[in-house]
Each structure stands twice: as C-alpha cells, then as structure tokens.
Amino acid sequence: MNKVNSFKVEFDIDTFDFSANSLFVITDEVKSTGGYSLTAKNGIWRNEACIIGINTITPILPQIEILTQSVIIISTEKKENVTFRFAIEI
C-alpha cells in the first residue's frame, strides 16, 4: 500500500489470499435510528503506522426507528512491523 493507494470497493472472499493480505472490520456504535454509514479515506503513512480515517455519515432527515450498527470491511496488503490505526471522524 502506498501513500496514495485507494481502497478497493469489493473483493471475493473465496479467492482472498490471507497470507498476503489482511482484513479489518470496523464497526460504529449501535444507533437507535437508521440512515448511518461509514466511509474510509486513503491511508496516510507516519512513522511505521498507517492511519486510516473512517467517517461516520449521519442522516439529514429523521429516519426509521430501528437499532442499526454500521460496518465497514477494509482489506490491505500485509506488512511487517506496521501498525494500523483507525481514526473515527464524526
């Protein structure tokens, strides 16, 4: 993964190579209404750490009253001695 590498929109779990790639599953807190979602920004490398910004998208209008929890799955190439940090931005 380089400094400008964008995230893939989809991948095939049946052919996913876990020996060369990592999967990260990020969840938001449980909400009492629908309409929320998560999006990811490109990773930024700083001192052997990859920082990935995660944005919480909130609904503009009142939504249905139901318990929801947004989830985003990120795949990335495995690196040795690298820390991945996910920054939730609201």
Three-class DSSP labels, 31-77: EEECCCEEEECCCEEECCEEEEEEEEECCCCCCCEEEECCEEEEEEE
| Domain assignment present for 16 | no
Query: Is residue 30 situated within a structural domain?
Result: yes
The 10s digit of each residue's pLDDT in 45-79 is 888 788 888 888 888 877 778 888 888 888 888 87
In a domain, 6, yes or no: no
**pTM of this prediction?**
0.68
Provide the mean pLDDT of the chain.
Answer: 78
pLDDT at 78: 82
The domain in which residue 67 lies consists of 21-89
Number of domains present in the structure of the chain: 1
Q: Average of pLDDT values for 4-19?
A: 71
